[in-house]
Amino acid sequence: MPPARPRVVYSRHVKTPFTSRRSPTPGLFLGLVITLAAMLAYSFYITWQIAGLRQLQNDVAERNRRDSLQLLRIQNDLNLLALAMRDMLGNDEPYPLTAWSAQFDRIRADLNDALRLETWVAVAQRSPEQRQFLVDSLSQFWDAVDRIFTLARDGKEREARAQISDSLQSRQAALSSAVARLLVQNNESEQQAAQHIAQIYSRVQHQVYVFLAAILTAILFTSLSVIRWNRRLFAQLHTLSQQRSELAQKLISTQESTLREISRELHDEFGQILTAVGSLLSRAGNHAPEGSPLRGELREVAEITQTTLQNIRSLSQALHPVMLDETGLESTIDWYLPTVERQTGVDISYEKSGTPVPLDGSLGVHVYRVLQEALNNVTRHSGTKEAWVRLRFMPDLLELEVEDRGKGFAPQSTRQGIGLVAMRERAQLLGGSIEFLQPAQGGTLVRLRVPLATMERHGK
């Protein structure tokens, strides 16, 4: 029976959270285009309405007003003519009819000018018959006036007065009635224009409300879309952050486990082998004749073996100090700091305060690695030969500080080394925080803070 084929856990068709999501850019861009198009169309619409309103006001309302003023001027001149004719017919006037000739000429000139202006500003709704009737009636009236003054100059005042009473006054009344009708027509036209303007205002106001509602709806829809996509994006970032943190924790745990195994192998296997080799070389040297070259060579090889054993033990301690598991963090730091001073020549001032709290192996390893990486940065990058290490046991937290007066670095730099990233990850694993500060005196201050609750949880 052939062996069962292994089940495929991952395939190239599996989509990641980012590749399975559609980009919100096309939708948001479409919403922006629709909103801008709506605003542009509404702007054209409002411009068109305002232009129509302006034309209506100029062509109807304003012309009606100016036409009414001229009609009132004509009506006033006609009233003056009526008063003059009444005085001409009055028996108490000692003046002959020809005495009113100058007054009639003056009114005639003003009336003709008013009629000319009225004809120019008259609204388009007036029919040609209406316009011609006023012109013809006024022309006939002045022809009759000329005949009356001709009769008066010929001494026929009684006949002239009879024509004034029988014909001229009726013509003047007809002209006044025609002008009054035109005024009424203008008033009606103004009312219609006012209603039309009010309708335009009402329509524009309604359209403004509709446009605002549409714009607000578009803004609301776009905002909700942005919020929804932002929530998805932040959820994806949170998921990726958790995955990254889990991966970092696994990598750190794997690294520590690997270093611990290598350290044990070096300490136990190679250490025992080198110890045995050194013991055999010592016994062989004791069996060699005194003063023989072989005895000296064996002693030299035994010294090399002992030096190699010490180097391997130092390397084993550097990879993973056995003291962390056996005696704890404090003793390991007491051993590690003098070792760094001997190896690098950096003068380290160590301060410890507070009541020590027992730390388990994993917690102590992370604190030790942060100290180790911080001192590596001091020896490699600071350019100084002096550093300060402070370990404080407080009622609610453990605080570790490593300070130097060297070159310093930019904590906000985007290009940070793997060591700084590892220190941050270890601080997160401990449930604490780490800060990279620049003291006023210059240099760098690395401050690790681990809450006491984390220590108790790890202790259990």
pTM of the model: 0.50
Give the pLDDT confidence score for residue 387 in this predicted structure. 92
Cα first-last separation, the chain:
50
Give the pLDDT confidence score for residue 184 in this predicted structure. 85
Q: Compute the distance between CA of residue 63 and CA of residue 118 in angstroms, rounded to an integer.
A: 10
Q: Compute the distance between CA of residue 145 and CA of residue 148 in angstroms, rounded to an integer.
A: 5
pLDDT, greater one: 394 or 327: 394
Give the pLDDT confidence score for residue 15 in this predicted structure. 41
Structure tokens at 429: 């694993």
Could you tell me what percent of the chain has a pLDDT over 70? 84
Q: Please, what is the average pLDDT of the chain?
A: 78
Above 70 in pLDDT, residue 29? yes
pLDDT range class, residue 76, cuts 50, 70, 90: very high
Q: Which structural domains are found in the chain, ordered by start?
A: 25-224 (1.20.120.1730), 322-459 (3.30.565.10)
> 399: which DSSP letter?
E
pLDDT range class, residue 1, cuts 50, 70, 90: very low
Above 90 in pLDDT, residue 402? yes
pLDDT range class, residue 250, cuts 50, 70, 90: confident
Q: What is the pLDDT of residues 114-125, one digit of tens each?
A: 888 887 877 655
Give the pLDDT confidence score for residue 239 in this predicted structure. 87
Q: Compute the distance between CA of residue 302 and CA of residue 294 in angstroms, rounded to an integer.
A: 12
What is the per-residue DSSP string for 52-93? HHHHHIIIIIIHHHHHHHHHHHHHHHHHHHHHHHHHHH-TT-
Give the pLDDT confidence score for residue 126 in this predicted structure. 63
pLDDT range class, residue 274, cuts 50, 70, 90: confident
Give the pLDDT confidence score for residue 416 in this predicted structure. 55
Above 50 in pLDDT, residue 20? no
Comparing 83-92, 141-150, 173-182, 283-292, the range with the smallest average pLDDT is 283-292
pLDDT range class, residue 448, cuts 50, 70, 90: very high
Taking alpha carbons only, the member of 150, 151, 143 closest to residue 168 is: 143
Above 60 in pLDDT, residue 283? yes
CB atoms within 10 A of CB 217: 11
Specify whether the CB–CB gap between 455 and 412 falls below 8 A: no
Mean pLDDT of 199-211: 80
- Phi, psi at residue 413, to the nearest 5°? -65, 140
Give the pLDDT confidence score for residue 14 in this predicted structure. 36
Mean pLDDT of 9-33: 55
Above 80 in pLDDT, residue 265? no
Give the pLDDT confidence score for residue 183 in this predicted structure. 84
pLDDT range class, residue 421, cuts 50, 70, 90: confident
Q: Compute the distance between CA of residue 290 and CA of residue 10 in angstroms, rounded to an integer.
A: 71
Comparing 25-29, 124-128, 287-291, 389-393, the range with the smallest average pLDDT is 124-128
Above 60 in pLDDT, residue 273? yes
Specify whether the CB–CB gap between 413 and 358 falls below 8 A: no
**How would you write 237-254 as a 3-class SS string?**
HHHHHHHHHHHHHHHHHH
Mean pLDDT of 236-261: 78
Above 70 in pLDDT, residue 56? no
